[in-house]
Chain A
Amino acid sequence: MTVAESDTVRNRVRIAQETMTPGQLAALLAFGAAIAFALVFVQEPLVHDSLHDFRHAAGITCH
């Protein structure tokens, strides 16, 4: 096995593309998007205020 030759960033992308189903990729993207959305962008007062201490503690920009 020639790990040194084949182990490149491009190869990693290729392996990911070819060993994962589109469904898995979608789930992966949704995972990131959902939590980022929930934590950073939700401006609903009830949710927003519940997260108050966390947002300040994490230095997240919205207020």
Chain B
Amino acid sequence: MLADYLKRGVAAGLVAGVAYGLYIVLVASPLLGAVHGLGGGHDSDHAHGGEAGHGHAHEAGGAHGHEHAEAVSETTAAIVSAGSGVLWAILLAGTFAIAYYLFEPALPGDVVGKALTLAAAGFFSVSLLPWLVLPPMVPGAEASLGIDARLATYAGLVAAGALASGLSLAGYRRLAAGGRYRAIALASLPIAVVVIAAATLAPSIVTQPAIAGDLVTAVQGATVLSQAALWACLAGCFAWFHRRAGNAGTDRLETDAASLPTA
């Protein structure tokens, strides 16, 4: 039963992961490479505001490419990054499938509606809310907190996002009978509260001294959109696999439930 869901999740993750891996190779890697170039203080053709006078902190006025001693070549980095993009999608989709199995009865709508609701909750908790405090780091970013403190902050924000999503969902279920729009409005309150709290209360931890603001916004925008697309894609694929397995799945659920000792 759960294994069936997980299987569909991993399959959906593979499909979404191939698309996402291609995105990393074809779009993200070249984009990040170009930004790295700008932050490194060369390639003046593309530099506008950010570059003049702002070299990479540890790379005073280098005349050519990556002096920023990296442990591996760019090709290796691109291949491994694409592979880990696929793994990332499989991880998200696998976790998504397990959560879908557990929360399927509590999610609103049909298969697609349930899958997209859960994906939205996942994207909000795993990415969107943490990014309000720790925005996606563009190469050259500097953080005022150490890595351990940032990982702890990140974990805390994921938990807060999951909690808010859960409250919101529970609220919607409770209020749905009294009118759909009112229920949606009231159910979005917990989300609004954590978003406003994260956006206003948190100090800014990450700064981008080396890169122009517009470019930072563009790279962050690409990150946000690509993660949103990844979630939408894996939810869509999962819903498709799930619906295709449709009747079989329900039969299995009934068999599993029937095989339980009656409580």
Q: Which residues of A contact B (CB under 8 A)?
A: 1, 3, 6-9, 11-16, 18-20, 24, 28, 31-32, 35-36, 38-41, 43, 45-46, 48-54, 56-59, 61-63
Contact = CB atoms under 8 A, between A and B. Distances in A.
Given A50-B81, A57-B23, A57-B28, 17 more contacts: A7-B104, A9-B102, A9-B105, A15-B2, A15-B260, A39-B91, A41-B151, A46-B71, A50-B71, A51-B77, A52-B70, A53-B77, A54-B28, A54-B80, A56-B137, A59-B224, A61-B134
Task: Identify whether the interface residues of B are mostly helix, strand, loop, or mixed.
Answer: helix
A49 B76 CA distance: 9
B223 A49 contact: no
Interface residues of B, number: 65
Interface of B: 1-3, 6, 23-24, 28-29, 32-33, 70-72, 76-78, 80-82, 84-85, 87-88, 90-91, 94-95, 98, 101-106, 127, 130-131, 134-139, 141, 143, 147, 150-151, 153-154, 219-220, 222-224, 226-227, 250, 253-254, 256-260
Nearest to A54: B81
A50 B258 CA distance: 49
Given A12-B101, A19-B1, A32-B94, A57 B260 contact: no
Contacts of A56: 28, 32, 136-139, 219, 223
